[in-house]
Amino acid sequence: MKLIQEVPALLVGFDTETTGLSTSEDEAISYGFAVYRSGVLEELSQFFAVPARPMSSGAQRVHGISMSSLQKKLEDGDAFGASYAAELAATKLSQFASDGAVFVGSNPMFDFNMLESTLRRHGHGGLRPFGIAPPQISIIDVVSHDVLIEPRSASRPRRGLAQLCGHYGITPGQHDAAEDARAAAEVLLAQIRRNSELESLDQSEKDIEVQHDIVSRSSRDQRAVNATILSRLLRARRP
């Protein structure tokens, strides 16, 4: 990964909430999207899925969503079955990718791998048939990007999404898929602004060094001229 200096024309935050932390065994229960065009939020959305895997107690404590609440959403038409939801998420990502989107998240490969395994489990062949398998698409991890900006920092030992939001003054997502997608995208936009500031500061320091060098050379040249003049005066005064 390299430092991002310019805001992508199309930036898409992508995040999932899941039944657990195993990308091979667990499934997403919600898919969130935050779409920015030229740095301006255009879409903030999410949809829910009733997973074909049990919900772990740890995951439920994190996002606060139970299987019974998902089942109720399904009955009310506010959620989809796991297979259709995964296919819908992949189709949506594919459409963004075809428009040249840059995807962003906090540890985004977790979310893409979770979707990959869910698609395969339900017979959709994974991400590749949708044209969204890395490295075919651009994916930025705001945590890795932040380490590039500030490699060592005793004052910032943790750089999860919550810590990055606090550092850059971004409203955190609080484990809501759409809001976490937004938070990651806004962290990246803040990082890009920071990169621009650092670049300007670095250029200013270089300009000062150049000016100092010019002044130093000018002083040396003037001293040489003065010495030449003095030498000529001394020779002229000799009898």
pLDDT at 227 over 90: no
pLDDT at 51 over 50: yes
Type of residue at 37: R
Identify whether the C-beta of residue 181 lies closer than 8 Å to the C-beta of residue 34. yes
d(CA 8, CA 162): 23
* Confidence at 156, pLDDT banded by 50, 70, 90: confident
d(CA 33, CA 93): 9
* Region for residue 175 given its phi and psi (left: phi exceeds 0; alpha: psi -120 to 50; beta: otherwise): left
Identify whether the C-beta of residue 48 lies closer than 8 Å to the C-beta of residue 30. yes
Name the token pair of 105: 């998240």
Name the token pair of 109: 């490969």
**Range with top average pLDDT, 123-137, 179-193, 197-211, 212-226:** 179-193
* Closest by CA position to 106, among listed 149, 61, 139: 139
Share of the chain above pLDDT 70, in %: 84
Phi, psi of 21 (to 5 degrees): -105, 5
State the pairing for strand pair 138-141/102-105: parallel
Type of residue at 111: D
* Region for residue 146 given its phi and psi (left: phi exceeds 0; alpha: psi -120 to 50; beta: otherwise): alpha
Name the token pair of 79: 């959620």
Identify whether the C-beta of residue 82 lies closer than 8 Å to the C-beta of residue 118. yes
* Closest by CA position to 184, among listed 198, 195, 168: 168
Mean per-residue pLDDT, 135-159? 89
pLDDT at 175: 96
Q: Which domains does the chain have, with CATH numbers?
A: 10-198 (3.30.420.10)
Mean per-residue pLDDT, 34-60? 97
pLDDT at 155: 76
Q: What is the mean pLDDT of the chain?
A: 89
* Closest by CA position to 35, among listed 80, 93, 91: 93
